Homo-oligomer: A and B are copies of this chain.
């Protein structure tokens, strides 16, 4: 039927030997600031929260390539290289002349790309003699990924799971427990910040911002313990560059060059990892691509936020970062794409968008699930709601090609599978899913607090 195989697998030898540090090809980014002194954060300050290996990478904006430790590559081989798939059946269903490819990151038990950074973070923690990590999780992908990595390296892990998620997704919780993690619904009585919040808001379902605050407090107050974050930060984007590097190698092998590269955008780690090597070519003037970040209409930080300094959490204990943000007090509606419910955006993505190197768009939840269902039926994979944002826009671009007759090549990131999102699918199947779009007043009210 076709010369290009449906799935392009690289060999394990073709797994990248280095991560690609996009910042080395960018102008200097505005630094993270200490929220008290408003001075750039020092290495020492950051090392009180994160493990040293991660801090070093977080601050490194000069080395284009950073070697992936052998031990991390060995772990990667358990589930990587991940397949690059030609979506023949989706193309056929759409009747489009466009070629659609997706990099499929869900074929591991964490169900998403999050494992790429979790492995690295747990490895560095182990190397540095730490005995435990803490983290937070909302939808559960990151918590699961870090649980798997910590089980592998023999580290204890405490996961603060947003209470409402922990109740709605008991199965996610159980995967983490199977990997030995201590999962605590947040806010909890186990931290000072948790107790304060419970006092002020008894019966609250929690939020990602609160869970971050609890996890950071716990890490700071536990010997030989640090905190691990699953997105937003630049070392996380660095680890996720394996996605883009593998995609590029696989496409090159078949002489295919994408015209449009599409990724869903929450904190920015998957999007940043997918586009990194392609964006590098664009920044160096070697080749041009269109990049599209897709965010939910319910949480549109790039498309409707401001590009200012803001906190990464609602508790105001993280460093300040210059980013597109809806304000750290912005509470996104309880959409079913937990992984995209974040008020801010990674600083690399924010800068590239600000400078016009990439586009951003936002889509409605119901339109996202329509795309998810078509994808599931044609391509045989039930996609995560987060990933389905990228599917939606890939389909829309392919349909534009159908109108114009253009044979464009579209690449998108399929970040994960939807096996733990079936409450959301049920709502959609029952015709009971709604869309929530914040008003200008809501967004302005939240942003006003930053001034």
Give Cα A377 to B175, complex, Å: 11
B12 with A77: CB separation less than 8 A? no
Of the candidate stretches A2-10, A187-195, A299-307, the one touching chain B is A2-10
Do residues B382 and A109 form an inter-chain contact, with CB atoms below 8 A? yes
Instruction: Tell whether A65 is near chain B: CB-to-CB under 8 Å.
Output: no
Q: Which residues of B contact A9 (CB under 8 A)?
A: 9
A120 to B143, CA, bound (A): 38
B7 engages A422 (CB within 8 Å): no
- Among B373, B380, B423, the residue within 8 A (CB) of A148 is B380
| Nearest CB of chain B from residue A8's CB, rounded to whole Å | 10
CB distance from A56 to the nearest CB of B (A): 26
- CB contact under 8 A between A12 and B1, given known A178-B376, A376-B178, A422-B174: no
**In this complex, what residue of B is CB-closest to A78?**
B380
A354-409 contacts to B, CB under 8 A, are: 373, 376-382
Jot down 25 A-B pairs with beta carbons below 8 A, ordered by A: A1-B74, A5-B12, A5-B77, A7-B12, A78-B89, A79-B380, A107-B107, A109-B376, A109-B380, A109-B381, A109-B382, A109-B419, A171-B419, A174-B422, A174-B425, A174-B426, A175-B382, A175-B419, A175-B422, A177-B425, A177-B426, A177-B429, A179-B376, A180-B377, A419-B419
Q: A residues bordering B, Cβ < 8 Å?
A: 1, 5-7, 9, 11-12, 74-75, 77-79, 89, 107-109, 111, 148, 151-152, 170-171, 174-175, 177-180, 373, 376-382, 417, 419-420, 422-423, 425-426, 429
